[in-house]
Amino acid sequence: MPVVAPAPEKRAASRLPRMTTPQEIITSARNAPAKTAGALVLSGLTAVLMWASFPPVDFGPLAWVCLIPLLMLVRIERPVKWMYAAVYGGGLLFWMSSLQWMRLGDPAMYFAWLALAVYLAAYFPVFLGLTRVAVWRLNLPLTLAAPVIWTGLELLRGHLLTGFSWYYLGHTQHQWTSLIQISDLVGAYGVSFLIALHAGCAAEMLPGWAFARFGLLPPAVTSSTLRVFKEPGQIARVAGCLTLLVATLVYGQIRRSGIEFKAGPRVALIQGNFTSAVKHDPEEWPKIQKRHEWLTGQAVKEQPDLIVWPETMFRWPWVDMPRDVPAEELQTLHPDKPVAQFQQAQSSVQKKLSNMAQMAGAGMVIGLERINIDRDSFRIYNSAVLVRPDGILAGQYDKLHRVMFGEYIPLVDSMPWLRKLTPFGEGFGISAGQACAAFEYEGYRFAPIICFEDTVPHLVRGIVNSTTVPAAQGTGRVDFLVNMTNDGWFHGSSELDQHLITARFRCVECRTPMVRAVNTGISAFIDGDGVVRKQAEGLKTHGPKLDDAIVVDHVPLDSRQSLYLRAGDWFAGLCLACCGFVSLTGIFGRFFSAGSQRPERT
């Protein structure tokens, strides 16, 4: 007997759930997720507002509201379709636009730009997910959950995969000098916490119609699926936020009042104007050297005690070879390296550095590459050396913190196959230094830091603490920091401004001034309040105005103490520990939240 197929209408009806009562219809509508469009719009809005809070727009007030659109997705009980994918897209939009300056250095940097943005964008959905767990499972107010999770994740980002401490939310407030002074208590993380705290408080007070306007509620359902907060508690949280803001500003004013910075050594910062392509062309090295020597000659007229060249602007490497091993043996062990050529050039490099310091009549801190050759290895370091006017090499420092995809490939030592996924060759990268160093000259002690090291809070704190001499020996911590940077990779981009902003927070955290000599800029003197006392301006020569610059001033010494210097990331560490607890709650929520009441809805 032939089988007769059912009519199309009957087939469609057979796939529909059977709903026989109004309650079942309402329940089905409530459980149906809202569309993705609202999440896309809100994630994009957060990305745009946050981007505009940083250079090049640099409108800091937007930071106080940029998280509110994203936090609206916390208050809806049921996630919209593809919500976390939409939020990841917003994070990717922010990081791709903020880090676009990375592509300027070299075509290979397009890969680094994309890889870093893809990684960093993941923090946006992780923040959303953990905050939702804190609010919906632990019944915490959004005012508290948002800043704790955001701050904890900033600390994690600053350490994971050697860390990336750029674009912290607190960095947007660099122009509000009184506000950022709490960094000497809790680091820049405390400023980020304060901003996220107010954003969470504002997001709590949004009315239900705002969520309906963005299509965040299930079809045919009103605001009954929103997380709401009782009015008495909400008023108390608003008052608490405002009180904390006022207390922060009062603390900042107190810390800044009555302080007089003692004049330290007179330092000259040399700022050349050479892009990365020129720097890596050996035929251009004599031109780079000649230009920096000319700028040094102009600086000598200002009678400085110390002259600082930027990172790797002395283009010939300093070579260290064991004296008890013949060069012929080293050449045999390293057949692909010009060992004999390095040995011949070393004496001329030493003589050149010695002559420069003697002619300047001042101590010179020079950025160069250092090559260490022994039987087992051939290592290249990004280094700084101190040469005294008598020609003696008085100090040496190898960069500790390498830049992801710029100076090394993450995890490649343990997983060599990762190199095949990158455009970088076998010899790519430099080695990390083993220890920090303090240079001493004419009664002053200072610690060199190279390139992006001035953006890493815990690294700079560790360097200052490690170079501190016990009071019993007559001295304390270093008098100032010397940052030597080559930002020629990113000449003319917002990276130069953001790099300077981030360095300013290190000065507040450690209450230690810093001088920065930066190829292509921005060279500057920064005091312990994070205020730029003097920075580079174009230098007029016989031709048109150039980006070459000489910045000469006395270092503003700071004798104040810092809790952050002693206790470190205690505050952000607590926030990260809370993130860990919330993560466990999300995974094993039934055990942690058993017996707890569900949050109220309207």
Residues 206 and 347 in one domain: no
Q: Is the dihedral angle over the CA atoms 200, 204, 209, 212 positive or is it negative?
A: positive
Coil, helix or strand at residue 529: coil
> Could you give the CA distance from residue 199 to residue 71 in angstroms, rounded to a whole number?
8
Shared domain for 52 and 119, answered yes or no, is yes
367 falls within a domain: yes
| Contact status, residue 364 vs residue 351, Cβ threshold 8 Å | no
For residue 523 the two structure tokens come to 């060279």
Helix (H, G, I), strand (E, B), or coil: what is residue 227? strand
Q: How many Cα atoms sit within 13 Å of 77 on the Cβ side? A: 19
Q: What's the confidence (pLDDT) of residue 241? A: 97
In this structure, are 122 and 252 located in the same domain?
yes
Give the DSSP H/E element, type plus range, for residue 367: strand 363-373
Strands 480-486 and 393-398: unpaired
The predicted structure's pLDDT at residue 523: 96
Q: Do 221 and 299 sit in the same domain of this protein?
A: no
Count of C-beta atoms within a 10 Å radius of residue 324: 5
C-beta separation of 319 from 343 below 8 A: yes
Nearest Cα residue to 478 out of 450, 515, 446, 518: 446
Question: Do 268 and 174 share a structural domain?
Answer: no
Type and span of the H or E element at 524? strand 524-526
Answer yes or no: are the C-beta atoms of 300 and 357 closer than 8 Å: no
CB atoms within 10 A of CB 328: 10
Distance CA 494, CA 71 (A): 28
Our measurement of the distance from residue 459's CA atom to the centroid of its chain's CA atoms, rounded to an integer in Å, reads 12
Q: Do 460 and 529 belong to one domain?
A: yes
The C-alpha atoms of residue 530 and residue 510 are separated, in whole angstroms, by: 10
Residue 53 and residue 98 in contact, taking contact as beta carbons nearer than 8 Å: no
Burial class (CB in 10 A: 0-12, 13-18, 19+), 180: buried
Query: What pLDDT score does 542 carry?
Result: 40
Residue 158 CA to its chain's centroid (Å) = 7
d(CA 569, CA 375): 41
Cis amide prior to 430 (ω within 30 degrees) = no
Instruction: Tell me whether residue 310 is in a domain.
Output: yes
Number of domains in the chain: 2
Residues 6+ apart with CB under 8 A from 355: 391
Total residues belonging to the chain: 602
- Same domain, yes or no: 488 and 375: yes
3-class DSSP state for residue 506?
A: helix
Given this model, what pLDDT does residue 219 score? Answer: 66
**Rounded distance, CA 160 to CA 46, Å?**
24
Cα 325 from Cα 380, distance rounded (Å): 19
> Is residue 189 domain-shared with residue 85, that is, in the same domain?
yes
CB-neighbour burial class of residue 385 (10 A; exposed 0-12, middle 13-18, buried 19+): buried
Burial 239-249, CB ≥16 within 10 A → b, else e: eebeeeeeebe
Q: Which amino acid is at 418?
A: L
Structural domain harbouring 382 = 262-400+435-559
CA of 193: how far to CAs of 63, 129, 583, in Å?
12, 18, 19
Q: Is residue 74 located within the same domain as residue 36?
A: yes
DSSP letter assigned to residue 408: B
Residue 195 resides in a domain: yes
DSSP 255-309: HHTT--PEEEEEEEEEE----HHHHT-GGGHHHHHHHHHHHHHHHHTT--SEEEP
Q: Kindly give, in sequence order, each residue whose CB lies less than 8 Å from that of residue 508, ignoring residues fewer than 6 positions away.
A: 180, 181, 183, 184, 528, 529, 530
Q: What is the pLDDT of residue 360?
A: 94
Position 249 in a domain: yes
Residue at 100 is within a domain: yes
Q: What share of the chain is helix, strand, coil (3-state, %, to 5)?
A: 50, 15, 35
> Structure tokens of 444?
């002053």
Report CA dihedral (485, 58, 528, 395) to the nearest 10 degrees.
Answer: -10
Contacts of 593 (CB under 8 A, 6+ apart): 137, 138, 585
Report helix, strand or coil for 549: strand
Q: How many helices (H) and strands (E) does the chain have?
A: 21, 13
Residues 313, 339 within the same domain: yes
Buried b (16+ CB within 10 A) or exposed e, 507-544: bbbbbbbbbbbbbbbbbbbbbbbbbbbbbbeebeeeee
> What parts of the chain have a pLDDT lower than 50?
1, 12-15, 223, 540-545, 592-596
295 residue type, one letter: L
Q: Is 214 inside any structural domain? A: yes
Residue 312 in domain: yes
Within 8 A by CB and 6+ apart from 591, the residues are none
Please choose, from the candidates 169, 198, 201, the residue with its C-alpha nearest in 3D space to the C-alpha of residue 183: 169
CATH number at residue 517: 3.60.110.10
State residue 322 phi and psi, 5-degree precision: -65, 135
Omega prior to 56 cis, within 30 of 0: yes
Kindly state whether residue 602 falls inside one of the protein's structural domains: no
- Whether residues 202 and 280 share a domain: the answer is no
Q: Are residues 323 and 214 in the same domain?
A: no
What pTM was computed for the model?
0.89
